[in-house]
């Protein structure tokens, strides 16, 4: 069976922990989009890890971990992350990389940086890992596929074309050093040797695995609101964050994705710029940030403080719908135990009218939150494993959210550790 695990919000919903848990029951774990621009935090017996590019199944001996064709493949990052695991006592994981995945080049990172500099204050809050220039090149058909590393003559011709085009921009728009064909060819030769042991025809491999009834987990990065089509464009990421894209970015039949676990955070947080209707500020935000996640809400990749807000039912219901959620997992609920009252954003007021539907970015800019206030439970629920043992007000909060989401909440995460979970 194929399961997808994806985020309903702005990312950082705690997918890492749940992916790690679902990974235990999986034979194969596949990354199908994004690159090393976001991070999953996983706490297990080996310690605490931030994974950026490797699939979350890398801690298990029984799983095959796959980087699908939809991923922005950063080869040095993969090598470094693999080494980082081995150095900390994790057995070397089984890894396959799609021969159709495209490669993040050093110049993608540079273009990201140069463009942010050029835009100065008007930037998109990119993590500067080259993701936007990478996907731009992919769709402009000047990207480099893994398979192309193995045909040196054709590759050189392509690289010459790339340099001719990019050097115009580097020289005249950014006033930066130009690219050199031989240097890039050397880099690519190095990448070829590094990635060679893992290269695989992934869609053929997965087709066979589906036929054999293997459990396959598609691991999403970021969340619905960062999707380039359905999210808060243009403050989005450059590849689709939706479960539906799992079929494309892994190369499996869309109808095989039977279970879509959509992770919803019990409050809101976001990194980078963009519309965020239920955002809170000042001391109120600082306190939630300090108590949030596992040791504070700071970006796993960048260390940037996350923007904080109350639970947004409008955005989360939309986030679940656009994912095609078959179930929801509510996370980091334990963090909210200190609050006397919990505001929940149940509507957006736009031009004097209240809506429950998540609008386009144009309208979102004018939206004001409409809150309903729920009573707090004022206790530590971390580690409770039975739903009925949760304080009444806590259950009320969960059931209120479930009604708003219109999706069953089957798991409630009440702590960063693996066993801190309630199944319903
Ligand atoms: P992802 O991008 O969705 O994978 O989000 P991360 O897993 O990187 O970020 C979530 C943060 O919250 C990490 O520091 C996790 O260890 C932590 N976390 C996950 N689930 C829970 C939970 O239920 N309670 C608490 N307190 N922390 C959690």
DSSP string across 62-102: T-EEEE-TTSEE-HHHHHHHHHHHHHTTPPPPEEEEETTPE
Strand pairing report for 268-270 and 307-309? antiparallel
Q: Which of 29, 38, 40, 41 to mutate to test the pocket of ligand 1 (most atoms within 8 A of CB)?
A: 41
Between the CA of 241 and the centroid of ligand 1 the distance, in Å, is 18
Exposed (0-12), middle (13-18) or buried (19+): which is 107, by Cβ within 10 Å? Answer: buried
Task: State residue 243's pLDDT score.
Answer: 98
Is 12 a known active-site residue?
Answer: yes
Strand pairing report for 409-413 and 199-200? unpaired
Please give the angle made by the CA atoms of 39, 63 and 98, to the nearest 5 degrees: 70
Is ligand 1 within 6 A of the CB of residue 17? Answer: yes
HSE value, Cβ hemisphere, 13 Å, CA-based, for 99: 14
- Are the beta carbons of 234 and 21 closer than 8 angstroms? no
DSSP state of 33: S
Between the CA of 293 and the centroid of ligand 1 the distance, in Å, is 5
Report CA 285 to chain centroid distance, whole Å. Answer: 23
Is ligand 1 within 6 A of the CB of residue 264? Answer: no
Cross-sheet strand order for the sheet of 199-200: 199-200, 94-98, 64-67, 28-31, 216-223, 2-7, 257-265, 327-331, 409-413, 421-423
State the Rg of the chain over Cα.
22
Residues 241-271 have pLDDT tens digits of: 999 999 999 999 999 999 999 999 999 999 8
> pLDDT at residue 294 above 70?
yes
Task: State residue 123's pLDDT score.
Answer: 65
Task: State residue 57's pLDDT score.
Answer: 87
Exposed (0-12), middle (13-18) or buried (19+): which is 388, by Cβ within 10 Å? Answer: exposed
Q: What is the mean pLDDT of residues 152-175?
A: 97
Is ligand 1 within 6 A of the CB of residue 326? Answer: no
> pLDDT at residue 124 above 70?
no
Q: Label each residue of 149-179 as H, E or C.
A: HHCHHHHHHHHHHHHHHHHHHHHHHHCCCCC
Between the CA of 174 and the centroid of ligand 1 the distance, in Å, is 38
Reduced to 3 states, what is the DSSP secondary structure of residue 271? coil
Distance CA(198)–CA(54), nearest Å, equals 13
> pLDDT at residue 32 above 90?
yes
DSSP string across 363-381: HHTT-EEEEEEEE---S--
Is 40 a known active-site residue?
Answer: yes
Is ligand 1 within 6 A of the CB of residue 294? Answer: yes
Residues 184-232 have pLDDT tens digits of: 999 999 999 999 999 999 999 999 999 999 999 999 999 999 999 999 9
Residues 327-369 have pLDDT tens digits of: 999 999 999 999 999 999 999 999 999 999 999 999 999 999 9
Task: State residue 42's pLDDT score.
Answer: 79
Is ligand 1 within 6 A of the CB of residue 130? Answer: no
- Are the beta carbons of 250 and 66 closer than 8 angstroms? yes
> pLDDT at residue 52 above 80?
yes
- Are the beta carbons of 102 and 146 closer than 8 angstroms? yes
Is ligand 1 within 6 A of the CB of residue 220? Answer: no
Reduced to 3 states, what is the DSSP secondary structure of residue 34? coil
Report CA 14 to chain centroid distance, whole Å. Answer: 10
Protein residue with its CA nearest to atom 11 in ligand 1? 293
Residues 88-114 have pLDDT tens digits of: 999 999 999 999 999 999 999 999 999
Structure tokens at 384: 């409770």
Report CA 115 to chain centroid distance, whole Å. Answer: 23
Q: Which of 4, 8, 16 to mutate to test the pocket of ligand 1 (most atoms within 8 A of CB)?
A: 16
Is ligand 1 within 6 A of the CB of residue 19? Answer: no
DSSP state of 105: P
CA neighbor of 274 nearest in space, from 222, 232, 227, 318: 232
Out of 40, 52, 108, 230, the active site residue is 40
> pLDDT at residue 125 above 80?
no
């Amino acid at each position: 069976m194929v399961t997808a695990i994806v985020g309903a919000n702005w990312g950082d919903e705690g997918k890492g922990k749940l992916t790690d848990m679902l990974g235990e029951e999986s034979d194969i774990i596949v990354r199908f989009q994004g690159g090393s621009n976001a991070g999953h935090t996983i706490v297990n017996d080996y310690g605490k890890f931030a994974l950026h590019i490797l699939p979350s199944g890398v801690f298990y001996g029984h799983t095959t971990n796959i980087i699908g064709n939809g991923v922005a493949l950063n080869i040095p990052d993969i090598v470094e992350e693999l080494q980082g695991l081995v150095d900390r006592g994790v057995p070397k994981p089984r890894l396959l990389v799609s021969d159709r995945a495209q490669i993040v080049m050093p110049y993608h990172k540079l273009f990201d940086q140069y463009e942010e500099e050029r835009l100065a204050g008007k930037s998109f809050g990119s993590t500067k890992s080259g993701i936007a220039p990478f996907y731009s090149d992919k769709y402009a058909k000047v990207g480099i596929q893994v398979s192309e590393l193995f045909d040196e003559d054709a590759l050189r011709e392509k690289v010459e074309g790339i340099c001719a085009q990019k050097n115009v921009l580097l020289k005249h728009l950014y006033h930066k050093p130009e690219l050199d064909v031989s240097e890039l060819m050397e880099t690519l030769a190095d990448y070829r040797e590094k990635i060679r042991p893992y290269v695989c025809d992934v869609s053929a491999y997965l087709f066979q695995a589906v036929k054999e009834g293997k459990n396959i987990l598609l691991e999403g990065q970021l969340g619905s609101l960062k999707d380039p089509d359905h999210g808060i464009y243009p403050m989005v990421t450059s590849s689709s964050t939706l479960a539906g894209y799992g079929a494309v970015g892994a190369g499996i039949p869309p109808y095989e994705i039977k279970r879509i676990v959509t992770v919803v955070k019990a409050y809101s947080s976001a990194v980078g710029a963009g519309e965020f209707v239920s955002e809170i500020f000042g001391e109120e935000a600082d306190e939630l940030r300090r108590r949030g996640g596992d040791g504070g809400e700071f970006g796993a990749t960048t260390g940037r403080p996350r923007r904080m807000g109350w639970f947004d039912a409008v955005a989360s219901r939309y986030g679940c719908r656009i994912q095609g959620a078959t179930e929801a997992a509510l996370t980091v609920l334990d963090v909210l135990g200190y609050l006397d009252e919990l505001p929940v954003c149940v509507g957006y007021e736009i031009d004097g009218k209240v809506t429950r539907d998540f609008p386009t970015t144009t309208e979102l800019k004018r939206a004001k939150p409409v809150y309903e206030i729920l009573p707090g439970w004022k206790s530590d629920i971390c580690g409770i494993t039975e739903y009925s043992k949760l304080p009444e007000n806590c259950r009320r909060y969960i059931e209120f959210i479930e009604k708003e989401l219109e999706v069953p909440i089957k798991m409630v995460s009440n702590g960063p550790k693996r066993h801190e979970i309630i199944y319903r």
